[in-house]
Chains A and B, each alone.
Chain A
């Protein structure tokens, strides 16, 4: 270890993060709210630049500085890419109060620590759920290419995102898409020898290897999530809306077929394979179910939703897929339409207003138009989706299974009218995945879930967090989203009652059952 003599120059060029106070910014409005943190839209006083301020609150003394925040900061500090959210700096607020003993040298961070991000107007889920929103094919290609480019950059830099989902993909009004919320991300080494927690990635986007208990995994986990998003963009709704892990696996098997040693060598060695292997033969039905998709899109999706992670397409190869190089080509982000910027806090008001309108319309016996249906992309007539037939249909009828409360992104407030299904082109009224969790909150890129609460969080936001749910609490782009893993404890046991020591690992006791 080298020792610098006193008085030696400090060669650190840039001003240290944390050297500036949050007072350098003027908070314009709160755009997200969570138990553990708030997100503000703010203006840097000196430059007038609009930024997003995410407050990191440290309520849990035993945990100290949230691990998710440390990880997010250290990873974002290293990543500089146009498709990765930019963490501009960290600012602190000393807070007015002195410490407990009233000592003058109290905690200078007591007032809070804020992460300063570039401001983004939307998130993908929020945008997709806008009333009347219909992405074009070049638009989807454009978003997908940016998503893959950003992810490829992360993977090249040996970072796994581990929470790819629509609400973590922020979009600005220039059409740029950026990966956000690196609170679950971590570095990996190429040999994949590390044992990592399998309790990552929001359930609906979680790959089969994690659901089967694998702890050695790599970038392929993110690619599964990308496949889910891709299919969702084309299909118009989430394709695997499982309510718990067993159901999640079942949904995957129903579409992608059951894994066996032929299509996925080694699968029978995964920790929970015997527990969850399908009891009946299940054929891969991806091509059949999505036969209306464009040929190249289907080809790419096939390779993303490959059960065996070793055979799953990489981000780099996906970028080379025919899909991105055949007509219609991905559009220039700048050519995309600009959408009115909106955030949860703002849209709450709007929704309230809308609800009143709907009520009024009802009273006037008028048929209020169904506004909140997410539409599949614009494509040639006759190409629209047939809803999947099969057992899933019953699971997600018009009857919401879980009342999660308002959750997301410009969704339709679960109002009085049942209305037609969300995907009218299918001619399948009321059927399909009319998922309850999509009702509610506006989105727009700013998260509002908490930094992960200690211990378990319920997958559908029943833990009392605003806007919980697998898609991230109320839009979580800036990473204050609801926790990803639904449960702690053994494989899907959900038995953990103790506190998790942190969101990455949970409580050792829960994991290993020391108490037993």
Chain B
């Protein structure tokens, strides 16, 4: 799965400024994308070096195997995060907490690397769990699966994998949350992007603060609405939010 040439095609340059052009997106998406891209690039390099040293057998842990795709999805990390945010309308803080989970994962399973083959699945799974934890209202796994481009069954499996890998340590105190926000902000300073404040609303999940405006915003995405509503009088066909590029393999 982890062969030499594959990842290098997908390592992307850091382009933090690109996501800033998108208006109305939480700043945390931008910061997080950049941090994760950097991480993935670093790990890809590590994998590459390892694969050259010991040909064939790379000593990478198997903990994250469930999250590995055959090839890296073509959608970039920023676009993927944006997509999750746009379609699930989860609180911005879910992305920080999702990041906390991924970070915890790497600490609990240090031999496992977050790389381009697994980052997407890790993201959709961790943000989904974060949303389940934080938002009293959130979309179900079926919606996240569609948004994330994986099957419902697979996402359910990944959810359990992640919960068990985390040893169900999915509690994030406000202190820890704050420290991760600071960490993410620091990353941006280091990047030379300048100080970007991350939305701190752990206690006030966006989903709970949605006002009429937010609803209207979501109403422009009818496919999602139909999806989350199993109402029998809804006869519309199933939404086509599943871009072909998003069907991971």
Contact = CB atoms under 8 A, between A and B. Distances in A.
A3 B167 CA distance: 19
B108 interface: yes
Contacts of B126: none
A478 to B, nearest CB: 17
Contacts of B204: 193-195
Given A1-B103, A6-B60, A509-B225, A197 B153 contact: no
A215 B136 CA distance: 11
Contact of A3 (B46, B218, B230): B46
A77 B169 contact: yes
Contacts of B207: 505
A497 B231 contact: yes
Contact of A194 (B50, B141, B203, B210): B203
A72 to B, nearest CB: 10
Contacts of A497: 231-232
A274 B215 CA distance: 25
B163 A498 contact: no
A1 B229 contact: no
A4 B106 contact: yes
Contacts of B208: 194-196, 215
A3 B113 contact: yes
Contacts, number: 168
A409 B163 CA distance: 35
B152 interface: yes
A236 B55 CA distance: 76
A58 B156 contact: yes
Interface in B192-249: 202-205, 207-210, 215, 218-219, 225, 228-232, 234
Nearest to A197: B136
Contacts of B17: none
Interface in A501-516: 501-502, 504-509, 511-512, 514-515
Contacts of B155: 64
Nearest to B152: A61
Nearest to B203: A189
B39 A508 contact: no
A70 B228 contact: no
Interface in A95-120: 100, 107, 109, 113
B170 interface: yes
Contacts of B70: none
B42 A3 contact: yes
Q: How large is the interface on A (under 10, 10 to 19, 20 to 34, 35 or more residues)?
A: 35 or more
Contacts of A507: 228-229
Q: How large is the interface on B (under 10, 10 to 19, 20 to 34, 35 or more residues)?
A: 35 or more
Interface in A1-20: 1-12, 16-18
Interface in A184-203: 186-189, 191, 193-197
Given A2-B107, A64-B159, A197 B167 contact: no
Contacts of B128: 64
Given A10-B108, A501-B137, A515-B231, A18 B164 contact: yes
A88 B117 CA distance: 35
A371 B205 CA distance: 51
B19 interface: no
Q: Which DSSP category, helix, strand, loop or mixed, fits chain A's interface?
A: loop
A499 interface: yes
Nearest to A196: B136
Nearest to B58: A6
Contacts of A100: 153
A172 B103 CA distance: 40
A78 B50 CA distance: 38
A504 B135 CA distance: 9
Q: Which DSSP category, helix, strand, loop or mixed, fits chain B's interface?
A: helix
A504 B59 CA distance: 42
B39 A1 contact: yes
A325 interface: no
B137 A508 contact: yes
Nearest to B60: A6
Of B60, B156, B168, B171, the most chain A CB neighbours within 10 A belong to B168
Contacts of A280: none
A63 B140 contact: yes
Contacts of A506: 137
Given A64-B140, A501-B138, A509 B61 contact: no
A66 B43 CA distance: 33
B203 A514 contact: no
A63 B168 CA distance: 18
A16 B167 contact: yes
A65 interface: yes
Given A71-B133, A74-B169, A65 B156 contact: yes
A62 interface: yes
Nearest to A215: B208
B71 interface: no
Given A77-B169, A196-B208, A64 B203 contact: no
B145 to A, nearest CB: 9
B96 to A, nearest CB: 13
A198 to B, nearest CB: 10
B8 interface: no
A75 interface: yes
Given A194-B203, A194-B205, A497-B231, A62 B142 contact: yes
Contacts of A1: 35, 39, 99, 102-103, 106, 114
Contact of B137 (A61, A77, A504): A504
A352 to B, nearest CB: 39
A500 to B, nearest CB: 9
Contacts of B153: 61, 100
26 contacts: A1-B35, A3-B46, A4-B106, A4-B107, A4-B111, A5-B110, A6-B61, A16-B164, A16-B167, A17-B164, A18-B168, A61-B156, A62-B142, A70-B132, A70-B163, A70-B170, A74-B133, A74-B170, A75-B171, A78-B171, A109-B160, A194-B203, A195-B204, A501-B228, A502-B138, A507-B229
Which 8 residue pairs spanning A and B have beta carbons closest together?
A: A4-B110, A505-B137, A64-B141, A195-B208, A189-B203, A62-B142, A18-B164, A8-B110
Interface of B: 35, 39, 42-43, 46, 50, 59-61, 99, 102-103, 106-111, 113-114, 128-129, 132-133, 135-142, 152-153, 155-157, 159-160, 163-164, 167-171, 173-174, 202-205, 207-210, 215, 218-219, 225, 228-232, 234
